[in-house]
Structure 1
């Protein structure tokens, strides 16, 4: 019973964090409602509503529904790693890339040139791309540039392009070091997206 209560508190914390992150990434005034979450062996699934068709990051940015779906999938990946003794999500080690590249062919091409904090985002993106566009060639390169995730691959269109654009956009809101909510800024004259603890 106590374990169930602790899990519910953990899940509620993730829902609150997802809600705050969603509000930070969406254009001001965009209707967005988090209704809660469900749980399965696959992790915590966020339940939310957003006005369709709103573009995030300017007139060429991805639609809000794609950005929020990738953010929700990222939280789902994070929730799978919860330490049930401390009810925290441990940081990924650099070894995550090899395991993810083994499972997701799209990650096999370019190696990882960024810190492990974006690992959950990349796993969520690769999983969604495997569903939406399994024919995509592996990324030629994945790296950090000017504090953002950059993904280089062949011509993309439709949902696949929206997923990639969403990942690049969300990387400016997720700490590259630990995966917590972050902010793009200058750290010792170097652009990096970090949380308060890693500034």
Structure 2
């Protein structure tokens, strides 16, 4: 089969063909002090100098959900990395809740106060990046949120000699629909000169 993205269903084509996608489990705080936590699989690293990550929720302008609205208002958020032990809790935070409800409470997730930004983080996350808003760009019907990482939390159990060891981090990625993947099945390739 060949054709334009629209012929395949652009969302399904991209979400099913660009896999696995890392998951940004973004925590933010509303102006009223409500802690929000939601997963986004349109997420990645953008730069390392300065260290910038991005996530791209659907919605623009007045049509934003809680997380991007909180981030644009406060200019602060935390990206928590989803690991196998937290995947059920992450899924529970994707539920639609009433206005003013916190996903931390709904999913019974222990929150810890961030160190440098005004937001909670997932206490049990093996890796969490505290971010300040770098920029936000409307792209079609989505808003790409760029955050500069200003502080990181890394559990000792996923480090070797004070450095993150990817072989110890059981990260979970999003496939499509209700499918996910883990990073347990790893292999190594030497890059050519």
TM-score for the superposition, normalised by structure 2: 0.26
> Structure 1 or 2: larger helix share?
1
TM-score for the superposition, normalised by structure 1: 0.25
